Amino acid sequence: MAPLPLGTTDVPEMLELTAASEPGPFLPQTIQMGSYFGIRAGDGRLVAIAGERLRSTAFAEISAVCTHPEFRGHGYARDLTTFLAAQIRAAGLLIDDFCAILWLELKKRSRLVDLVKLARIAFSPSSEKA
């Protein structure tokens, strides 16, 4: 399932999801701090979200990564985090250290990439090649 952009009309569902999964603070105004994306189940329910809460001229932070407890184990958090990380890197930014570590762990668990190469990508300035 492809990540879908979320907007202010999705906030009630986002609040329900964050209450059920407890990723950390998520308030009705949080969506105004950056871009958020979600994954919906076949019945239309919002089952996973992740977003960019803070962005500076050099860094971006991935925030509110969570999956509804009934839908865990499908890789939705990994998919959303990977999607956001790719967008952040494409914009020439670095990923906040904590988020990069989370991204690395998700990748390690899924065994999709070489961790050394991923660490170079996540922590190097955009002008350097991995």
- pLDDT, tens only, 42-77: 999 999 999 987 777 777 888 889 999 999 999 999
State pLDDT tens for residues 7-24: 999 999 999 999 999 888
Average model confidence (pLDDT) across the chain: 80
Which domains, from first to last, does the chain contain? Answer: 4-123 (3.40.630.30)
In this prediction, residues 28-42 reach a mean pLDDT of: 93
Query: What is this structure's pTM?
Result: 0.73
- What letter does residue 48 receive in the DSSP assignment? E
Q: Which residues of 15-43 are buried (b: 16+ CB within 10 A; e: fewer)?
A: eebbeebeeeebeeebbebbbbbbbbeee
